[in-house]
Amino acid sequence: MLRIRILAALGRARTFWAVFRKSRLGMAGLLILVAYLAMALSAPALEAAGLLRDPALINEDAQGNVLNYQPPGAMFAMGSDHIGRDLLSRMWFGSQYTLLIGFISSIFSMGLGTVVGLVSGYAGGWIDEILMRVVDFFLVLPTLILALILAVTLPPPGKVDLWKLIFVVGISLWATTARLVRAQVLSLKERQFVLRARAIGAGDGRIMRKHIFPNAFSLVFAEGILTIAVAILTESFLAFLGLAPDEIITWGKVLQDALLHSALASGLVWWVVMPGFLIVGVVYGFTLLGYALDDIVNPRLRRR
């Protein structure tokens, strides 16, 4: 039985890849994201090989003078910051936490939104009404404003650690997924295969778990890819405002340092441009991939 399931899964994966590789947008997004993933994974190896410095190291010359505000050159490919840290290393290592926060926040957001959407759409009645009013409350506020309010007000007030940051980003994004899943469930629960399962005595939990969720998963997955892009933008926004843990490096934090310490006035244009370019690039990659997946899994959007 397990062998049959594995072979069936491999067959579906091959079929999906055959369709996906024909999408130019999808392949372009995938290549961009592979490059970013390689960047994040290669950081420790490049540091060990001496091609990158410790991103927290304060570099000094032979006389003990801090090498701060150094322009791009042989010693620092992208210059150094206000306390002599290598900017190339900080941007390279920043990809790790930026992508990690984006992925985990999206998983949390997708999980919460999927559960709420499943229960709301399947149960209907007063349960649906209450849950949808909660969703409306989260939808009425702009994502960045909601994330900012939560980051400042949730305990401990004014202080943000890694898991609080992930929670704030995730809880700011779940409502859209809940609406999407609910709409899908409202359609699926009236299909013949669900009515037959109910007729033979299947419980509500089993119907949602075994029949409705698998049929809604592909749409949730495509939405999840797009959510990662928004999660990275939200995290960068909070880090730029100083609402990020001091012990981690993200592109938003590098950008905040640049503007707080007058990078442009010091001639360190790369200090401002590169973090912004990296953020835009990864968001663009996830957006292309998400739209391509949505085009494949949603028959109404699929090109014929």
What are the domain boundaries of the chain?
Answer: 96-304
Percent helix, strand and coil across the chain, each to the nearest 5: 70, 0, 25
Tens digit of pLDDT for each residue in 25-80?
Answer: 899 999 999 999 999 999 999 999 999 999 999 999 888 899 999 888 888 988 89
Tens digit of pLDDT for each residue in 100-126?
Answer: 999 999 999 999 999 999 999 999 899
Element (H, E) at 4: helix 2-20
Q: Which of 213, 118, 228 is nearest to 173 (CA)?
A: 228
Alpha helices in 200-266 (DSSP H): 204-206, 213-240, 251-260
C-alpha angle with apex 95: 141 to 282, nearest 5 degrees?
60
Helical pair 87-123 and 213-240, crossing angle rounded to 10 deg: 140
- On whether the pTM is more than 0.95, the answer is no
Residue 304 has pLDDT above 50, yes or no: no
Which of 3.40.50.2300, 1.10.3720.10, 3.40.50.360, 2.60.40.10 would CATH assign to domain 96-304? Answer: 1.10.3720.10
Tens digit of pLDDT for each residue in 172-187?
Answer: 999 999 999 999 999 8
pLDDT at 251: 95
